[in-house]
Structure 1
């Protein structure tokens, strides 16, 4: 690859001399949203290339995500024949997706059901499997960490510059690079583009158990269960991977307890080891009902865990409005609206962004005004998802305040969409 290699091995300078509608859409980030957008553009006959800062598709951590009201949009972005494969992406591909399922919300101290929500179809997707599917047939270039964005003087093209010294020119750049988006920070600067830290923390555990233990833990719900505890904790317990339906010892469970943790406390404990994180979770778990209590008791010391302070970023704040440079650059998904996850809305909004941007870029290819089209797309995203960010943050705070749990959007609405 040349120093300024483009998607077809051509240099950035050569790309500039192509007609604007012949240049590719540049997508920064190969998470679920960026890949879904790329599939949608490919399906619509629009050339695109995806850039990923990691060296490969493989990730050290994997988790699962809830897809519900966003499912029709994802289906529209993928090749028509792919939707039959959605079942294989689930945490347990052997359990058929129900038209209507029930999510129970229980008292963490007693196990008593506080509320239950009907929803469906509800897909609990493994992130790794979803990304693997959505990567098929795409031009994804790895080891590409975005360092700068420049704009042509004639306003007809944009160039992405990477830390390895290469660059690629396109007709539009889309930041799909997650909650700590480099695109967002380049557009707004390190202060306004930085993620907003919240006074909440969570430590996540993924663990297999003996066959007998696994069968017991799964009897509370085959896929997912949520809880609030009177001591101002929130918890989730669910399936991460049911590898063999006939061998419960092959099942991996995914669970966590989150708690009120000031930013100062988060900084003071930033160097905690996995052993310290797990010990803290085990202490929390002692006061919980099952399945949390037994799961933590049965999780041996030395089990790897990962910790994250909760974060968000509200695109609707005046200081968070960015310049899209005449429609040459925009953002999708967590790059533009990272939100807390206790109400399961993030993937659905992100996939909706991808669908709406796909529609916008189809109109652009048909001769529409780029600045007007991109600005209209952004206003819809900011209004829809910005409201979700605000409500999601309020929801997470309420779920960690026993006196307000029943007032929370999650308790009142479950995972129904707001708009």
Structure 2
């Protein structure tokens, strides 16, 4: 379960929501009790060495949601034909329709196919070709994971600086750290709160160098131990034998023209323009 900022896309999402969901958009928020219509303070960008504020980033209508809660919110009780574990094999465009075939042999046909299949999009590969669809590596590596199980005092500490999220940059370690509220399940019981911890850095070691989970954890804890609070407590809570994911920084930009077959096949989301820290 990971969170994401939605505030700059909320306007467009709300336009396609039925009225009964539009009025309940606070439900999938990481903290449903937070009134984002009021003046949420600017996001602090701090020196990770001493915690001093370098800059404050104003974000009007700041709205951070849990991906899991948002997915559940948008689909429950809506009688939608959502199928999981489907792996796209090919796309076929016809004069009046488009069909997609999956690895399990099933086929679906409709008027338009929208590739929202992530940064490794197969629909993108169909549109621009295999080589042009490949992601471009950037010199960035990321560790990003959710965590709960904090004590009440620890959880309250993690919510200092800002109620939604905060960013830190270390003067001697190029990159940044992000600590964000992920699920404030019960505002009166901090032991139920979950947080998202992110650490990204430029240069080595790269993801390929950290494939051993034990080596990865030792590197991560060594790096996090140098951060100011509350970032240090956020990361140091991990058990030494925990396994956290590591991602290479990759992106893809739509810098070329392609045939969308009269609008029958198109792309959206990370398939159309994946950016770091997206994978």
Q: Same fold (TM over 0.5)?
A: yes
Query: 1:202 offset after TM fit, Å?
Result: 0.9
Q: How does 1:14-413 map to 2 (within 5 A)?
A: 62-101=1-40, 102-135=42-75, 136-152=78-94, 155-208=95-148, 209-231=150-172, 232-261=174-203, 265-269=206-210, 271-273=211-213, 275-316=214-255, 318=256, 321-341=257-277
Q: CA distance change for structure 1 residues 205 and 111 in 2, over 3 Å: closer, same or farther? A: same
TM score, norm. by length of structure 1: 0.62
Q: CA–CA distance in 1 between the matches of 2:98 and 2:145?
A: 42
Higher relative contact order (CA 8 A, sep 6+): 2
CA drift at 1:174: 1.1
Aligned length: 273
Alpha-carbon offset, residue 327 of structure 1:
2.4
Q: Distance in 2 between matches of 1:332 and 1:128?
A: 19
Which of the pair is proportionally richer in helix?
1
Q: Could you tell me how far apart the structure 1 residues matched to 2:191 and 2:24 are?
A: 26
| Alpha-carbon distance between aligned partners in 2 of 1:297 and 1:151, rounded to the nearest angstrom | 52
1:44-71 C-alpha deviation (Å, 9 max, x unpaired): xxxxxxxxxxxxxxxxxx2111112221
How far is 1:191 from its partner? 1.7
CA-to-partner distance for each residue in 1:179-223, whole Å, 9 max, x for gaps? 111111122232211122211011123222111211122223222
Bigger share in strand: 2
CA contact (8 A) 2:207 2:247 kept: no
RMSD: 1.9
Task: Work out the CA distance in 1 between the residues paired with 2:236 and 2:61.
Answer: 34
Going from structure 1 to structure 2, the CA distance change for 1:322 and 1:268 (only over 3 Å counts) comes to farther
TM-score by length of 2: 0.91
Unaligned runs of 5+ in 1: 1-61, 347-419
Q: For residues 304-339 of structure 1, give each alpha carbon's deviation from its aligned partner in whole angstroms, at most 9, with x where no partner exists.
A: 4222112110102x3xx3221232211111111011
Q: Which is further off, 76-85 or 188-197? A: 188-197
Indicate conservation of the 8 Å contact 1:150/1:159, yes or no.
yes
Q: Distance in 2 between matches of 1:328 and 1:222?
A: 43
